[in-house]
Structure 1
């Protein structure tokens, strides 16, 4: 394994420490590494990126904790308040909390009740006490011990009253943390795929007569399944996503492989990413980004491997329909015997309106399968004849910490697969990777419920069967199971090949290693590469079904570049053209439908359309759309915003294959079908009229440049943001929303990294943190990379010690 940057000669001059190293050739084994610095050292380079070097894991964690707190202490402190179930105590019970993927999904009180039950049950404490692989590896424990020391040191040096971020300056809830706070935060991130859908239903569940939700009228199995499916689909469309593309030796022009990481994570709150480099000479040298508060790299590269994650199509939870006793609805039937639900009183402190402190207590209910819920994604599941219990595949998962620490040290893509299989810690994510040897990997190996196709066929209820199968027909929507809880045999069985109870055998989960490319844009594993379709249990997603337009765009971008048919010079990927293609902001929807839309506009008699009781003149839209020949969502594009509104009205939450295409989806040609929009269909004309009316009512010109309507405000300055929504098939996804009373980006390109390996020498990499390193408006790194993102520019990474030392803005902090 090649190593660069580990023969360090450390010297100290005044208060600065500068590391000098010599380069190690890949041709031979590395020499013995010199010991690391006596104290953890943070070297800041351009854009506030910290390069942390230490002699051991605890020191590495200390540097990480200090630097993370310096940039984002308010975001972190509020997160620790959340997992400690004390939001209501300090911020009031009616405030909004964000325990899952989305922003402001529940109240502080509901969030506190949810996490207090987990804390009362000592869920995380029990996991920490287990031996690996189910408990944390020793190096994980050491790093987290150091992280706590570093975070608390920064807070002690600064003092809550001197924090520069007004979001928490002087707040009583900014406090020193413990190791358990960090583990609870990690656990909350691991289970967040379930929280948005089920948290409110769990904390409000009560027997018939005791709650409003229990009195909701029962719907038919068909109605319930369709409503849940629609709600899950809507949530998924406006949630986290990602693109990732690994290119092997046969797909690059120069070098051995390349990797493009493009996660679409939130721009606010606990799910922000933060960039760092972590080095222990002779042990680890990794750079990339992690979710705030994780003293490891979640997405990044080391000397030999680069990897990323994308949100997968596995549902991290399943439901069990349990028949209840009509005279005592807290009794439920299993294998012909009545069993008692367990009740648990959960109490949290709340801040009253008069400033006093009170308490709120709720009684929560659970079965052998898990907690009772009375809703899924806001859709009622009445507790009447039966009740529904939740099993979360990640509730007993802290293994993800081990997964990421080991990925940080991987030597090739086969080592990545081994890590995924032996930890099964990845929660609801795919993994895409490339290595120095020239291989490209796609793997959907994660914590998956052990639901084989046979088990599903045997145990799904009528509603569950409809929901499971409907979800399989929609790209991006996980197949949610509802099993017959009357039969204990319908619980998820234990598999001897799995790491933990109830998990699917990792060897049954899909993976693909190729020398051309493998990628994912949040559809199932079926077409990681169209030349080699994958098969897998239905619980992991669909096969032979339409792909999203973004998946089509990713696959076409990869294949056309490798073939040299995309209009750019040469064949194969280079560092330059890979970055160029991501920020081209091309819309697959426009490629497929713009010409037909223009024709529909021009064919409209007198340009007049009656829609929703309005007479709309659409004639002005025809030349605007016809002139938008690039099909790109660049900041200077005109007509793109009009088309985006048109497409939103046309699709209106429907699956892509439901639009009025002349050529239907064909599983034999899934990347190019469906296609040919029917310009004569009235839905096309009416959707365009609605878009024109919408823009005129908002005072937006039909030919307004994208920069005039899609931007973010930082420090009083409006910064244009290029890219567009997932539905338009643009790789550089950005999802605008109203946040705290102003337009911002809710989800979108966050940490972006492009890595190129060669046979010898260190990796060549470029990166960008779209929302910048700090959420503190008074930080110099609050918007600096956001401006780069706006301009389509990237940061050239400093990875080796020579590169770090050469930074013209180098600042060094020694934590002696």
Structure 2
């Protein structure tokens, strides 16, 4: 009876909250229409935080619900967005000085040269009434937290910073545009800043700028740590006959690219739960009572490089079809802090071609610098993408996967990700709607033959306008890869061509992604996991994604043990050192072939595989050192696989791994939790999983460049030189990988059943209880309930309610 009474009181409380907020009298028009203006003079929202600090924002209109979201985000991660605002304004040098190797000077010039703030100003002036509400509410909420807290009391790494200040709608749009350029212009900011014609004064190039440039270019090479798994399970493979979803982005645990979880509810208009990159209004990965969706980074190209032939004696003029064309000049002036509160003005002239900004990639190859004969430039598919704000709100209001498909086709605002979605009706949907250049067949052939470079001195390589595209020169959504099934679809960052083990999507532009090429071991493992169960449950989805199994260990460990047992005490000679591999063989024989905390032998196998890859860089994708069955384009999810015919490379890898572990003082059968961990407020927390090279769904890794944030990066220790390994005397320190893990579906009666985990915690404040609470859950491989219904929210024993207004 007492429990019933508490529930009744809770329900009455929420009813009074809704009544006090006022139900909306009219529905808002679609984006682009006249819309409904916010009637109130200010904003009002109720923030209900449940266990682990998850904010459920309740408000009477869209402006107020994003006001509450902006306020709640500022409570948790104020520094991240404030830092990014200063960065994309091009004002880091103004507050922080030139930085190591003048890196703040370089990034300030780079962002200003891209011109994204000018584009944001134009976008801000043309917003629909609904977009205006969404954006202004978010900004007002963020600023309301600052006003209530005071700059001196802001928690986190920016505490007391001189650059803490209110932000504007243009600031948020500018940052959103930099996120849109994540796989293109944002990664090329330093090459843009460093570009100067021969003979002109150039910016300094040093280790700091080189490291930041390399970190950006990893996004194009496929070696970036960012990635994802996503599954949509349809009615035929669901135990309830309804749809199910796994969303498992692998993103940094530090810096501005951390996900943040929230729940937004406007009665009668919006009810969406999920997560998104911090500082962006709305939900980017999540679910409603009818549909759920996730994203994975798409494998295609979001831009094209062009080389242009320069006019002799005039390095800022270039030829197009034999006719000289003057580059566009942009004079940029920034302020640089010289200490003691003083600043000095520094000016540069930046250059662009008809395609876009000129680049200096001479650090990667001298041929990619700016010489007297040629210059390198590029055209960006996302530079004019002004649809992101509306895109995700329209997805959140879809009634099913067909509604998501319609929203994608209408807005065409998805910047660089695939979408994987499931609905209550049991449909599973995949698409790659990312912004992709449209080229002629001849240009595509040239692009492929040159490794991604086009001759910009001929107009025949210009992008091709196609009716229906968001902008001229892009591939319209109707011509992009997409598929709906009733069993499942998936993606794990390989291209569109294998969304299902037996149905391939082919015939698309190579800029959309490669076709007929081997999948990563992680994609192969995803397919193995998906097809390991005939009928899925939500609980089973979480267990599968967090399983410690890897593709390489299942395929090749037994062969390694058999080979070294057959060898007996005959040593393996590597790098002039004789190694008796018997003890290592015993460690692998006793291993459970998993990367769980208690696994003994996991570290040795990881080092063995990395040693093989160091000697044979393509070992994961072809028969030979690791696998025996070669790649078969008719069976990409299951090849290459099997034990190799020649096990000598594996034995040599094992020997090198043993030498390395002995050098660092680790036993061959050391438990994984003794070596692999993250650090939260000086506390070591063991972390399950491993790197994607091993072929695991639950990826955890270390990256020295988790973003462009000013937040201090965890020190992983110095790697051993010339080994291909990332094992250090500190072990495996983790700061990226499984980040927001969502598993959800609908019960047979149609009710939402969702569980999630934000591995690094909701708060960026080390003094918050929500800084590491979910990291400890992750250590135990436990997901928590997503409290979606009012009854679930209001009966949470940890519930804390706050009304905010402005």
Residue 725 of structure 1, CA deviation:
0.6
Question: Is 1:397 equivalent to 2:385 in the alignment?
Answer: yes
Aligned mates of 1:727, 1:382 — CA distance in 2: 33
Aligned residue for 1:59?
Answer: 64
Instruction: Pick from 489, 495, 520 the counterpart of residue 518 of structure 1.
Output: 489
| 2:46 maps to 1:41 | yes
Equivalent runs, 1:82-101 vs 2, <5 Å: 82-95=87-100
Kindly indicate whether the alpha-carbon contact (under 8 Å) linking 1:750 and 1:771 is maintained by their aligned counterparts in 2: yes
Offset of 1:560 from its aligned partner? 2.2
**Structure 1 residues 746, 359: closer, same or farther in 2, change over 3 A?**
farther
Supply the distance in 2 between the matched residues of 1:44 and 1:292 (Cα, whole angstroms).
17
Distance 1:437 1:207, change over 3 A: same
Contact 1:270 1:292 in 2 (8 A): yes
> Per-residue displacement from partner, 1:303-337 (whole Å, max 9, x unpaired)?
10000000011111111111112321211001221
> Does the C-alpha gap of structure 1 residues 137 and 760 become closer, same or farther in structure 2, counting only changes over 3 Å?
farther
SS at 2:533 equivalent? helix
| 1:476 matched residue in structure 2 | none
Alignment partner, residue 220 of structure 1: none
CA–CA distance in 2 between the matches of 1:163 and 1:232?
33
Residue from 157, 176, 181 that aligns with 2:171: 181
Stretches of structure 1 that go unaligned for 5 or more consecutive residues are: 1-7, 22-34, 97-105, 131-135, 216-227, 469-480, 563-571
Aligned residue for 1:733?
A: 699
1:160 aligned residue (140, 151, 163): 151
Counterpart Cα distance in 2 of 1:641 and 1:419: 46
The 5 A counterparts of 1:702-721 are: 702-721=668-687
1:206 aligned partner: 196
SS of the residue corresponding to residue 722 of structure 1 reads coil
Total equivalences in the alignment = 741
Distance, in Å, in 1 between the alignment partners of 2:121 and 2:134 is 17
Where does 1:446-595 land on structure 2 (aligned, <5 Å)? 446-451=434-439, 453-457=441-445, 460=446, 464-468=447-451, 481-535=452-506, 536-562=508-534, 572-595=535-558
Q: Is the 8 A contact 2:48 2:55 kept in 1?
A: yes
Distance apart, 1:671 and its partner CA: 1.8
What corresponds to 2:109 in structure 1?
A: 113
Deviation sequence 1:16-51 (CA, Å, 0-9, x none): 959999xxxxxxxxxxxxx99993110110000000
Question: Quick one: structure 1 residues 351 and 614, their matched pair in 2 at CA, closer, same or farther if it must change by over 3 Å?
Answer: farther
Note if contact 2:43-2:64 (Cα within 8 Å) is conserved in structure 1: no
Contact 1:11 1:19 in 2 (8 A): no
Tell me, in whole angstroms, the C-alpha distance in 2 between the residues paired with 1:528 and 1:70: 39
Partner of 2:123: 127
Structure 2 unaligned blocks of 5 or more: 1-9, 22-38, 206-213, 705-711, 717-732
Deviates most, 592-601 or 527-536:
592-601
For 2:7, the equivalent position in structure 1 comes to none
Determine whether 1:366 maps to 2:352: yes
* CA positional deviation for 1:678: 2.6
Q: Which residue of 1 aligns with 2:137?
A: 146
Question: Secondary structure of 2:598's match?
Answer: coil
1:46-80 per-residue CA deviation (whole Å, 9 max, x = no partner) reads: 00000001111110111001100001111221111
Please name the residue that 1:222 is paired with: none
Q: What is the rounded CA distance, in whole Å, between the counterparts of 2:658 and 2:761 in structure 1?
A: 35
1:243 paired residue number:
229
Give, in whole Å, the separation in 2 of the partners of 1:487 and 1:511. 33
Given that residues 242 and 522 in structure 1 are in contact (C-alpha distance below 8 angstroms), is that contact kept between their aligned partners in structure 2? Answer: yes
Q: Does 1:616 align with 2:579?
A: yes
* Distance across 2 between alignment mates of 1:554 and 1:212: 47
1:192 pairs with one of 148, 173, 182: 182
Which moves more between the two structures, 491-500 or 779-788?
491-500
* Residue range with higher mean Cα deviation, 295-304 or 71-80: 71-80
What is the aligned partner in structure 2 of residue 224 from structure 1? none
- C-alpha distance in 1 between matches for 2:188 and 2:567: 47
Question: Is the deviation greater in 731-740 or in 783-792?
Answer: 731-740
Tell whether the 8 Å contact from 2:226 to 2:250 is kept in structure 1 after alignment. yes
Q: 1:89 to 1:235 in 2, by over 3 A?
A: farther
Instruction: Confirm or deny: 8 A CA contact 1:600 1:680 kept in the other structure.
Output: no
What residue number does 1:644 align with?
A: 606
Offset at residue 140 of structure 1 (A):
2.5
Deviation sequence 1:505-561 (CA, Å, 0-9, x none): 221111110000000000011110122111122211122221111111111211221
Aligned mate of 2:746, from 734, 753, 757: 757
**Structure 2: how far apart are the matches of 1:790 and 1:334?**
58
* 2:580 aligned with 1:606: no
SS in 2 for 1:40: strand
Using the size of structure 2 for normalisation, the TM-score is 0.87
Distance 1:144 1:710 in 2: 41
Comparing 609-618 and 540-549, the one that deviates more:
609-618
Match of 2:433 in 1: 445
Alignment partners' CA distance in 2, 1:320 and 1:727: 32
Between 1:233-242 and 1:771-780, the stretch displaced more is: 233-242
Q: CA deviation at 1:741?
A: 4.9
Q: Which secondary structure state, in structure 2, belongs to the residue aligned with residue 492 of structure 1? A: coil
Correspondence for 2:661 among 687, 695, 698: 695
Return the alpha-carbon distance in structure 2 between the equivalents of residues 49 and 697 of structure 1: 44
Asked whether the equivalents of residues 307 and 454 of structure 2 are also in contact (C-alpha less than 8 Å), the reply is: yes
1:101 is matched with none
Q: 1:250 & 1:611 partners in 2: Cα distance?
A: 52
Once the two structures are TM-superposed, the CA of residue 345 in structure 1 deviates from its matched residue by 2.2
Aligned equivalents of 2:362, 2:285: Cα separation in 1: 31
Distance 2:394 2:650 in 1: 51
- Match for residue 568 of structure 1? none
CA distances 1:626-681 after superposition (whole Å, capped 9, x unpaired): 111x3211111111111111111212343622452332111122222112343635
Q: Distance in 2 between matches of 1:354 and 1:700?
A: 49
Residue pair 2:281, 2:389 contacting (<8 A) in 1 also: no
Alpha-carbon offset, residue 499 of structure 1: 1.8
Judge conservation of contact 1:324–1:332 (CA < 8 Å) in 2: yes
CA contact (8 A) 1:261 1:307 kept: yes
Alignment of 1:623-634 (within 5 A): 623-628=586-591, 630-634=592-596
CA distance in structure 2 between the partners assigned to 1:121 and 1:753 by the alignment: 34
Deviations 1:362-381 (CA, angstroms, capped at 9, x unpaired): 22111111111121884440
Give 1:742's aligned residue. 715
Please tell me whether the aligned partners of residues 231 and 377 of structure 1 are also in contact (alpha carbons under 8 angstroms): no
Q: Distance in 1 between matches of 2:315 and 2:175?
A: 35
- Superimposed CA distance per residue, residues 91-146 of structure 1 (whole angstroms, 9 cap, x where no aligned partner): 232259xxxxxxxxx9222221111224587122123334xxxxx44322211101
Match of 1:171 among 153, 156, 161: 161
CA distance in 2, matches of 1:123, 1:759: 48
Instruction: Quote the Cα distance in structure 2 between the aligned partners of 1:626 and 1:193.
Output: 43
Asked if the contact 1:762–1:800 (Cα under 8 Å) also holds between the matched residues in 2, the reply is no
The CA distance in 2 between the partners of 1:116 and 1:519, in whole Å, is 38
CA distance in 1, matches of 2:265, 2:328: 48
Which residue of structure 2 aligns with residue 221 of structure 1? none
**Other-structure match for 1:665:** 631
CA distance in 2, matches of 1:268, 1:244: 22
Decide whether the 8 Å contact of 2:440 with 2:463 is kept in 1.
no
Q: Residue 290 of structure 1 is aligned with which of 276, 282, 285?
A: 276
